[in-house]
Structure 1
Amino acid sequence: MSKQKTLTDLIKFVIGGGINTAFTFALYYGLQIVLPYQVAYALAFATGIVFSYWFNATIVFRTPVSWKGFFAFPLVYLAQYLLSAVLLSVFVERLEIPQGVAPLVVIVVTIPVTFVLTRWFLRRT
């Protein structure tokens, strides 16, 4: 795979992540008006996973969409969460990065890792 293709895919991945984040936050805020906030969050989060799978499979990496891939895709989110939780702890407790800033640093660090995991996963399912 060429460096140009990888860079193009990474840009599309980041744009899709931005769209997904904005959409899920908007959905959460809308749903929590009529539902308990935990239910609203769960529905918005699940919708975000569905959108992420569809967007990354069809737009970013152009891989076939399948039920097997769809039901296994949340493993990428699990891996991302576990890595993010460890990094957040290290940044706050060891490197003394303020709690309000550390999540932003975590996002910057984990985007490339999540990109690689997503690409690997979607090409295997």
Structure 2
Amino acid sequence: MKVESALHILWMKLTNKEFLKFLISGGLNTLATYGIYLALIDFVDYKISYSISYVCGIVISFFLNALFVFKQKVSLRSFIKYPIVYIVQYLINLLMLFALVRIFHIPEIFVPLIVTVVTIPITFVLSRLIIRTN
């Protein structure tokens, strides 16, 4: 009974308005960064393309999350702290990217979408924590 109750509470928290806005924001950010990735992949190695699009995604994400999702004023302090979430996520994503392309032979154009979906809940919690604690 307790597990069901805890799962219900978790589900309610994840489906609140803020989380739904986070998903919309994340969807827009994913489309933008995926477009950047695809635009670059013909000119540079997929790892470099991913890295450049990832950095662009951090900046886009910060502004979307601060202004649209969490309705907070943009501050230099939170902008500087925000990438901390993504440094850890980046290393995990890069490892997953490599494994999915090299070991599991998933096409390079699909892999960034897979690794992004895997890290959504973690990113939500950490983003909210950093943006709200100016």
Question: What is the CA–CA distance in structure 2 between the aligned matches of 1:28 and 1:118, rounded to whole Å?
Answer: 23
Which aligned pairs between 1:28-107 and structure 2 lie closer than 5 A? 28-33=37-42, 35-37=43-45, 38-81=47-90, 104=114, 107=117
Is residue 113 from structure 1 mapped to residue 122 from structure 2 by the alignment?
yes
Q: Normalization by structure 2: what TM-score? A: 0.63
Percentage of matched positions with identical amino acids = 37
Q: Normalization by structure 1: what TM-score? A: 0.67
- Aligned AA for 2:56? T
Shift of 1:63: 0.8
- Aligned AA for 1:36? V
| Cα RMSD for the two superposed structures | 3.5
Runs of 4+ in 1 over 4 A off after TM superposition: 81-86, 103-106
* CA displacement 1:1-28 (0-9 Å, x = unmatched): xx68x71010010111111111111112
- Aligned AA for 1:49? I
Question: What is the CA–CA distance in structure 1 between the aligned matches of 2:48 and 2:115, rounded to whole Å?
Answer: 28
Secondary structure of the equivalent of 2:16?
Answer: helix
Is residue 18 from structure 1 mapped to residue 60 from structure 2 by the alignment?
no
Secondary structure of the equivalent of 1:78?
Answer: helix
Unaligned runs of 5+ in 2: 1-11, 97-103, 107-112
Contact 2:41 2:49 in 1 (8 A): yes
Question: What is the CA–CA distance in structure 2 between the aligned matches of 1:78 and 1:105, rounded to whole Å?
Answer: 14
Shift of 1:72: 1.3
